[in-house]
Amino acid sequence: MSIFATFGKAACVAAALALGGAGAMTASAPRADAAEVTVTHWGVLMYGAPYAVAMEKGFFKEAGVDVTGVLTSKGGGTTMRNVMAADLPYGEVALSAVVAAINQGADLKIVNTGVQTVGEILWVTLPDSPIKTTKDLDGKKVSFTSPKSVTEMLLTMVSDANGIKPDMVAAGGIGAGLTLLKEGAVVAAPIMDPIWAKLSDNYRPVFQVADELPQMIQSVGVTTSEFLKENPDTIRALVEGRRKGVDFVYANPEEAAQIVAKYYEMDPALALKAINNLIKLNYWSRGEFNLEAMDRLIGGLRIIGEVEGKVDWAKYVDDSFVK
C-alpha cells in the first residue's frame, strides 16, 4: 500500500506537478496574480493546511501576493530543487533538505519556520501484538521509511534514549512499512497524520515521538538570497499570509478541515480528525524561530551521517519577517 494509493487523486496530482517541474527562474518578480508556492507533501501530509486556508480565505492576497496554486513533491531534495527553479522561489521544505542544499553550495535564506515538531510521528503495531512499550522493541525487527530519513533518525534517537537495539529495517515508505507489519515481517512501523487519522482503528500505538524526544523543527520557509534581496515585500506577504492561515486553523478547526478537504480532495471528517490531533501537538508554527529546536534536528541528522559539525544559523536565517 502506498500513500498515493491511500489518498488517491490529490496525491497523484501533486506528484505530477512535481515531476513536471516548476519552470525556469525569471529575472523579474513574479506576477502578483499568478504566484505559486512550493510545499512539501502537499495533498498528502498536513504541512500545507495553513496554505490551503490562506488561499481560500484570501490571506495571501490581503498581505500583498495572490497565491494561486501549490507546487509539490514527495519531499527532501526534490522539493528544494523545485523551490530554486520556480518563478516564485519560496517554499516550505524539510529543514534537513535545506541544510543539505546549503552544504552543497546553494545560496539560501530561511525566513520562517513551518512545522515545529516531529512529535506527530508514531510507531504502531497490530492490535493483538505482544509489543506494548518502547522497550519491547529491543532485538525485534522495526521498520523506518528509508536510509538517512527522518524516521531512521527518530527511531535511532528513541532507541538510544531507551537503551534498546531494535533490528531496524528500511521499508521504502510508510505504506510499505505497514505492509511489512501486516505480513509479520516487522513488529512495528511508523505512521503519521492524516494517514494515522484514517487507519487508527487498524493499529495500536507503541510510542509517539512527542512522548519520547524534545521539540525539533521539521520544516522551514526558504527562498534564495537573490530573490529575498530583490523582493522582500513578496516574502513578507507570504510569511504573513501563512501566519494568518495558521491562526485560523487553530481558532477554527472545523472550517479549516472543510477547506483542507477541498484542496486535498479528502474526507472532511478525516481532515478534522487529523487537524485536531495536530493542534494538540501545537504542530504549525506561526513562523517564529526556535534555534535550539533547529539544533536538535541537526544533532539527529549527525547521528545518521547527514550533517557534519554545527550549522551557523546566523548565516542562513533572516528572522526580520517574523518579528
Q: Please say whether the beta carbons of 297 and 121 come within 8 A.
A: no
Cα–Cα distance between 322 and 110 in angstroms, integer? Answer: 11
Which domain range does residue 132 map to?
Answer: 122-211
Whether residues 240 and 309 share a domain: the answer is: yes
* Rounded to 5°, angle at Cα 155 from 152 and 157: 105
Cα–Cα distance between 269 and 253 in angstroms, integer? Answer: 11
In order of 19, 83, 200, the CA distances from 71 in angstroms are 10, 9, 29
pLDDT at site 310: 81
pLDDT at site 229: 96
Whether residues 228 and 313 share a domain: the answer is: yes
Domain boundary among 195, 211, 227: 211
Whether residues 106 and 170 share a domain: the answer is: no
Q: What's the structural domain count of the chain?
A: 2
Whether residues 182 and 232 share a domain: the answer is: no
pLDDT at site 76: 57
Q: How do residues 71-117 score in pLDDT, each as one tens digit?
A: 876 655 677 777 877 788 999 999 988 998 888 889 999 999 999 99
pLDDT at site 309: 77
The values of phi and psi at residue 23, to 5°, are 90, 170
Domain boundary among 166, 187, 211: 211
Cα–Cα distance between 191 and 94 in angstroms, integer? Answer: 17
Cα–Cα distance between 14 and 74 in angstroms, integer? Answer: 9
Domain boundary among 211, 232, 265: 211
Q: Please say whether the beta carbons of 64 and 234 come within 8 A.
A: yes
Cα–Cα distance between 111 and 222 in angstroms, integer? Answer: 6
Q: How many helices (H) does the chain have, and how many strands (E)?
A: 15, 10
Buried b (16+ CB within 10 A) or exposed e, 264-295: bebeeebbbbbbebbeebebbbbbebeeebbe
Neighbours of 168 (CB within 10 A): 17
pLDDT at site 85: 78
Whether residues 12 and 70 share a domain: the answer is: yes
Whether residues 227 and 253 share a domain: the answer is: yes
pLDDT at site 34: 58
Residues in the chain where the model's pLDDT stays below 70: 1-34, 73-77
In order of 127, 166, 202, 283, the CA distances from 154 in angstroms are 23, 13, 23, 17
